[in-house]
Structure 1
Amino acid sequence: MKYLIPLFILLTTLISCEDNDKQNEESTKISKKNDAIFKEISKKWQFTFPESKPEVKASISEWNEWQQIKRELEEKPKTSLLAFQMKVKNVSEKSDSLSLTVPESFNIPQVRSRLVTLNTKIKSLDTYIHLEDIPQKRVITLINEINEEIKGVYTQMDEVVIKKAIPKEIGEEIMIRALDTTRLARKKFQDEIIENKDQQKSEETEE
C-alpha cells in the first residue's frame, strides 16, 4: 500500500507533463499561424480613398463619421493580429452611422445603398477576423471588397454632382410646370367627382 501513493503521484505528474506539452505544442502552432495571418493581412491592408470632385471633397471633409472611418482604415496596425482585430471592431462600430449621417446634398437612395453595402462588408470582416480559426483568404477578399465599396461611394457622389451640373434643355422647366398644372387639375377634378358621389349617397340615405 505504501508504494501505491508514490506510484499514483508519479503517474499524475507524468500525465500532467504530457498535457502541458500538448497544450504548449498547440499554443505554438496557433501562435505561428496567427503570425503568418498577421503578416499576410499587413501586406493587403491598403485602403484607397479616391480623389473626388471639389463639391464632393468639400462635403466629405465636413462629414465627421466618414473622416473617422477614413483615418482608422488608413492607419495600419504594426504590432499583432490582436491590433487588427481591435481596429476592425472599432471601424465596425462607427460604420453603422454612415447611412444616417450622409451630407444632405448626397442623401439619396443610391448613395445610402452604397453606404449600407459598405457597412455590411465591414461587419463581415469584423466577424471573420474574430473567429478562432481565421479564414485568411476570406479576410483578404473582404478587404478588397471594402475597397471597391469605398470607390463606389465616391463614384455615386460624383454622379450626383455631374447630374446637377447638366443644364436643362430649353423649355424643359415650362413643360415640367405644365405637367404639374395638369396633374393638379386632374386631381381636383377627381376630388370633385368623389365629393359629388358622396353627396348623392348622403341625399339618397336621407330620402
Structure 2
Amino acid sequence: MCGRNSLFTEQDDLEDRFGAEVVADGSYRPRHNIAPGDDLHIITNEASDEIARYHWSLIPFWANEPEGGMINARSENAGEKRVFERAWNSRPCLVLSSGLYEWRSTNGGSKQPFQIHREDDPAFAMAGLWDVWEGEDETISCVTILTTEPNDLMNSIHDRMPVVLPQDAESDWLAADPDTRKELCQPYPKGDLDAYEISTRVNNPGNDDPQVIEPLDHEQSGLGEFSS
C-alpha cells in the first residue's frame, strides 16, 4: 500500500521536471509528511500541463457524505470495482512525490518506517486515478494511488508498493487506453529507487518538517542487508 507521501521539491524544479505549472489554490509549499485526507499534487489526463491539488482518498460517487474513501486501489482489479470503474476507464493521473514512506514489521511487533525515493531525480510520479465527488453543497476532486506487487527493494519492507512510473512512461500513462495502462502497472523495474530507515517521527502527521526524512544514525540505516 501507500499510506504516506512527501513533496518537498522546490516549485520551480517541480514545474521543470514535469513540464507543468502549479495551478493549485493557495501557494505551493513543501510537505514532508502528507497523510490520507490531505491534498496531493497531481497531473491529470485532462490537463497535462497543470499541477493541481486533489483530496487524497477517492470518495465513492454514491456516498451521501464525503467521509472515508479509498487511499489506494489494487491495480490488478481496479477496473472491476464499481468505486473505481469510471476513474479507471477515463481518469488516470500522475501523483507527484519526493519520497514515500512505508513501514516494515519487526520481530518485536513494532514497525520501522522507511523513506523511499528515486536517486538523482528531484521528484517522481506514481500512477493514480482521480474522480469528482458531488454533494448537495460541495464538490470534491479526489484521488487514489494504485498499488502492485513489490519489487526486490520493497519486498523486504512490505508486500505491496505503489505503481512508481519510469519517467519515460509518465506521458503514456496519461494518454493510453485502459488495457495499455494496466500493462504499465508493474513493480518498478529500474534500480534507481533507494530506501533507508527513518525515525518514528513520521508516524505523527503533525511532524511535517525536514527532520522527518533524516536517516537513523546507526549502522543499519540502509537496506543493504535486507535486499536480495
Which bracket does the TM-score occupy, shorter chain normalised? under 0.3
Structure with the higher helix share, 1 or 2: 1
Which protein shows a greater Rg?
1
Give the TM-score of the pair, scaled to structure 1: 0.24
Structure with the higher strand share, 1 or 2: 2
Give the TM-score of the pair, scaled to structure 2: 0.23
